[in-house]
Structure 1
Amino acid sequence: MKSEAVRAVVQQVAQAFADEPLLVDTFARCYPNTLETAIQWESDGLPFVLTGDIPAMWLRDAAAQLWPYLPLCREDAGVRALVAGVIRVQARQLLTDPYANAFNALPSGAGHAGDFPERHPLVWERKFELDSLCYPLRLAYGYWQQTADLEPFRGDFRAALHRTVQVMRTEQRHAELSAYGFHRPGPVPITDNLPNQGRGYPVAVTGMVWSAFRPSDDGCALNYHIPGNMMAVVELGHLAELAGMLDEPELAVEALALRAEIRTGIERYGTVEHPEFGRMYAYETDGLGQHVLMDDANVPSLLAAPYLGYVAADDPTYVSTRRFVLSAANPYYASGAFARGVGSPHTPPGHVWPIGLAVAGLTAETAAERRELLDMLLCTTAGTGLMHESFHPDDPQMFTREWFGWANGLFAELVLLEMRDAGKTII
């Protein structure tokens, strides 16, 4: 899919950074990447967004990949129709299975659908990740902010709002109320199965929402994922606002009540007093006194809390958390000759993720810090001009996933922020 509005943005970046050909060329590859390479059309004429080199549509990735295009919805009818179509598709996906994280295309797609006959044929993977319920809300609310158009929110979307709140309510009391579990038979990576025959370890009732998997698609060690719950707080506020506009006042009240319970749970159970960094957020907890202290590059992350709208960047607890995350105390922070930043247990040890670098830039305390992170991204593409999933900070030629739309989109967001702050853009 081509877009004149996207082409115009690329031209604006080329003019603004005329003396930086590497930045201009990398942006020209990354910004249109999802639009030009990852959009397919389903049998009913609605769009299907590939994450890149995997032929499936993730709720999270698809919403994040389209995020940099939202301002174009005001002027480009094609982009507007695309985003509106994805909102409709994601509503249908949530109603198909609100515990799934990724889906096949209509009519049955390809890949894993036949592996587990009890699963719906449209489901690629049924890993329950709290952020998978949140990202469609983020995209829908962002679309409405840009367009004031409520048309995509009729029909399935309204029902999906109810289903989202229902599932979150159920998973506040997972052991008591939920039938969900995840346990694949046979020899599979340990991160692909939950203990206790797929039910997870015991947790206390905290007000937070239980999650089986992290945004990396790896299993949670402790099943209250703090960044995911932070995102839920923000998006339940958006859900309440949309519900009000759709004449669903009871749903709006319920969403705000749930939001308050989750926030209270995060602040009560999701923080620790670290001997070096002070009061900071944990990555996961069970509500029983155990905490996982780390961060993972995949968003939602602790580092991304201001980017997602949970706290301000100068919030004292966040500042302490950020210091921890961007230090050797975080077991998934790595440093080398070309870059330093957050990685993930999902990829080889010692690797840095471009997503982590971009999020650090998008939440940077100073313009100089943001520019340093942007330069790291520019010099670590291994000559491809595209972002990867991860790379070795001493040798960017060692990378995972050559085609990864989410990372390309976040890099583009960072460039556009750099441009706006310099007063160089009219976007």
Structure 2
Amino acid sequence: MEIPEILKQKVSELEEYYLRWMPEVAPLVRPCFLNTIETTVKHIDDDYFVITGDIPAMWLRDSAAQITHYVRYASGDKALLHIVEGVLRRQAHMVLIDPYANAFNEHPNGHCFARDLTEMHPFVWERKYEVDSLCAPIYLLHHYWKTTGLTGAFDAQTYAMLVRICEVFSLEQHHENSPYSFERQNCVETDTLPCAGRGTPVGYTGMTWSGFRPSDDRCVYGYLIPAQIMAVKALKYAAEMLRVIYLDDVEATKCIVLSNQIETGIQQYGIVRHPLFGEIYAYETDGLGNYLLMDDANCPSLLSLPYLGYTTPEDKIYSNTRAFILSEQNPFYYSGKVLRGVGSPHTPSNHVWPLGIIMQALTSSNPGEIRSCITQLTFSHAGTGYMHESVHVDIPMRYTRSWFAWANSLFSELLIRTSETGILEK
């Protein structure tokens, strides 16, 4: 993919900034900032297909995150704007093919990760239903609109996507009525849903059921609180766009009502009292009295709530939750000789995710903490110049996924925001 001129300009400016204020970061700026545009974006007809990196499929969540740091520059470059709007069109097209799928093929070739027992479409690479997958295109669309002030991506297909997402979230408030099920044969336990593919039982809470987490591991309990929180915001964004751009108060009101129902469910069922940290958000619950206390580095996470626009770092429940997440009370927090931070049950023990360290910095207002996180990230890349999926806390040469564009893009977002605030200069 040819690099738009504005990105060449901006990456050079960012390099110059870090050469001055944090020289050890400068060698990482160009490879990470350009990784998505250089290696994962493909022009197809009038839209764009974005692979995750080392997997030849387009995830709704990942593709949105991969190009988010470019959106702020899109109104100043026609080539970049064409790419951003093309990705938005592709995402809307994919959601309308199957809102229960998390990853898609470039063409309807029938390629897939596995021959799963679920209703597959030839465009679908994987059909793990994840609430955050449907939130991601809405977040990106709203960000594009608010940042550029443009409406070129708002066509009939995009309207249909917004309406369809609200319909699916509403249906999954009563998962017992859903047509969705998913089973994978001859796999690890976290790759398939129990109870004949329906997942473990849940009670009605007002929240919307999710089969899988953003890690693509199955939910232990069907109400994944970080995804519920992302849905609350996504539905409000959808309502705003439906009302202002499409002049549809009826569908906008449906989104607001649903958002409020999910929010009520979070407040009633998603907050628990921890003996050490006080009131904190649970990671998952089932509405039947069961809770899972942990966090996973994949976004949306509990750590990411201010980044998602849901709350502020100073909020008491978030502050308590953050203290829990960044402690050994979180079963997936690891600390070693080189790195410390949040990992995931999706990867080996004692492996920290750069995504988690990046998110810790993005949700902090403490200059020392931000600098410490960025310094750790300069130790994590094992001489490759890129962020990885997970890295061993003592031996950075042990890592998973050498080509993981989401992590490179989020790292770039951190570097951009840090330069904009001037926090390293204080």
TM value normalised by structure 1: 0.96
Answer yes or no: is the 8 Å Cα contact 2:334–2:350 preserved in 1: yes
State how far apart, in whole Å, the 2-side matches of 1:278 and 1:365 are.
22
Give the C-alpha shift of residue 332 in structure 1: 0.4
1:297-318, CA deviations, whole angstroms, 9 ceiling, x for partnerless residues? 0000000000001111110000
Label 1:278 to 1:95 Cα distance change in 2 as closer, same or farther (>3 A).
same
Label 1:424 to 1:320 Cα distance change in 2 as closer, same or farther (>3 A).
closer
Alignment of 1:48-127 (within 5 A): 48-108=49-109, 110-112=111-113, 118-127=119-128
Alignment of 1:294-333 (within 5 A): 294-333=294-333
User: Do structure 1's residue 137 and structure 2's residue 138 form an aligned pair?
Assistant: yes
Give identity over the alignment, percent.
Answer: 47
Aligned to 1:174: 175
Answer yes or no: is the 8 Å Cα contact 1:113–1:121 preserved in 2: no
Aligned to 1:222: 221
Aligned to 2:29: 27
Aligned to 1:421: 421
1:171-223, CA deviations, whole angstroms, 9 ceiling, x for partnerless residues? 00101x20111112x31111111110111111110010100000000000001
Q: Which letter does structure 1 place at the counterpart of 2:25?
A: L
Aligned to 2:204: 205
Q: Secondary structure at the match of 2:181?
A: coil
Q: Secondary structure at the match of 1:396?
A: coil
State how far apart, in whole Å, the 2-side matches of 1:231 and 1:89 are.
21
Give the C-alpha shift of residue 395 in structure 1: 0.4
User: Do structure 1's residue 411 and structure 2's residue 418 form an aligned pair?
Assistant: no
State how far apart, in whole Å, the 2-side matches of 1:36 and 1:280 are.
41
Q: Secondary structure at the match of 1:273?
A: strand
Label 1:263 to 1:12 Cα distance change in 2 as closer, same or farther (>3 A).
same
Give the C-alpha shift of residue 117 in structure 1: 8.9
State how far apart, in whole Å, the 2-side matches of 1:46 and 1:287 are.
41
Aligned to 1:189: 188
Q: Which letter does structure 2 place at the counterpart of 1:9?
A: K
Q: Secondary structure at the match of 1:17?
A: helix
Label 1:149 to 1:174 Cα distance change in 2 as closer, same or farther (>3 A).
same
State how far apart, in whole Å, the 2-side matches of 1:424 and 1:187 are.
50
State how far apart, in whole Å, the 2-side matches of 1:118 and 1:254 are.
28
Give the C-alpha shift of residue 17 in structure 1: 2.0
1:75-106, CA deviations, whole angstroms, 9 ceiling, x for partnerless residues? 01111111101111111101000000000002
Q: Which segment drifts farther, 19-28 or 356-365?
A: 19-28
1:97-139, CA deviations, whole angstroms, 9 ceiling, x for partnerless residues? 0000000002427444876695110000000000011000000
User: Aligned pairs, how many?
Assistant: 422
State how far apart, in whole Å, the 1-side matches of 2:424 and 2:215 are.
35
State how far apart, in whole Å, the 1-side matches of 2:130 and 2:116 are.
20
State how far apart, in whole Å, the 2-side matches of 1:148 and 1:116 are.
43
State how far apart, in whole Å, the 1-side matches of 2:365 and 2:11 are.
27
Q: Secondary structure at the match of 1:305?
A: coil
Answer yes or no: is the 8 Å Cα contact 1:113–1:120 preserved in 2: no
Q: Secondary structure at the match of 1:272?
A: strand
1:384-423, CA deviations, whole angstroms, 9 ceiling, x for partnerless residues? 0100000101000000000000000111111112111117
Aligned to 1:281: 281
Label 1:368 to 1:109 Cα distance change in 2 as closer, same or farther (>3 A).
farther
Answer yes or no: is the 8 Å Cα contact 1:113–1:119 preserved in 2: no
Answer yes or no: is the 8 Å Cα contact 1:113–1:123 preserved in 2: no
Aligned to 2:293: 293
Q: Secondary structure at the match of 1:22?
A: coil
Alignment of 1:254-403 (within 5 A): 254-403=254-403
Label 1:215 to 1:365 Cα distance change in 2 as closer, same or farther (>3 A).
same
State how far apart, in whole Å, the 1-side matches of 2:285 and 2:188 are.
22
Q: Secondary structure at the match of 2:42?
A: strand
State how far apart, in whole Å, the 2-side matches of 1:93 and 1:133 are.
10
Q: Which letter does structure 2 place at the counterpart of 1:68?
A: H
Label 1:412 to 1:228 Cα distance change in 2 as closer, same or farther (>3 A).
same
State how far apart, in whole Å, the 2-side matches of 1:96 and 1:151 are.
22
State how far apart, in whole Å, the 1-side matches of 2:195 and 2:26 are.
51
Aligned to 2:160: 159
Answer yes or no: is the 8 Å Cα contact 2:112–2:126 preserved in 1: no
State how far apart, in whole Å, the 2-side matches of 1:78 and 1:113 are.
36
Label 1:187 to 1:115 Cα distance change in 2 as closer, same or farther (>3 A).
closer
Aligned to 2:242: 243
Q: Which letter does structure 1 place at the counterpart of 2:202?
A: V
State how far apart, in whole Å, the 2-side matches of 1:18 and 1:189 are.
45
User: Do structure 1's residue 15 and structure 2's residue 16 form an aligned pair?
Assistant: yes
**For 1:41, which of 40, 43, 55 is the aligned residue?**
43
Label 1:58 to 1:378 Cα distance change in 2 as closer, same or farther (>3 A).
same
Q: Secondary structure at the match of 1:310?
A: coil
Q: Which letter does structure 2 place at the counterpart of 1:237?
A: K
Q: Which letter does structure 2 place at the counterpart of 1:411?
A: F
Q: Which letter does structure 2 place at the counterpart of 1:149?
A: L
Give the C-alpha shift of residue 18 in structure 1: 2.1
Q: Which letter does structure 2 place at the counterpart of 1:326?
A: L
State how far apart, in whole Å, the 2-side matches of 1:378 and 1:360 are.
15
State how far apart, in whole Å, the 1-side matches of 2:340 and 2:365 are.
16
After the TM superposition, list the runs of 4 or more consecutive aligned residues in structure 1 that deviate by more than 4 angstroms: 113-118
Could you say what the CA RMSD is over the residues aligned between the two structures, in angstroms? Answer: 1.5
State how far apart, in whole Å, the 2-side matches of 1:388 and 1:154 are.
36
Give the C-alpha shift of residue 11 in structure 1: 1.3
Q: Which letter does structure 1 place at the counterpart of 2:29?
A: F
Q: Unaligned stretches of 5+ in structure 2?
A: none
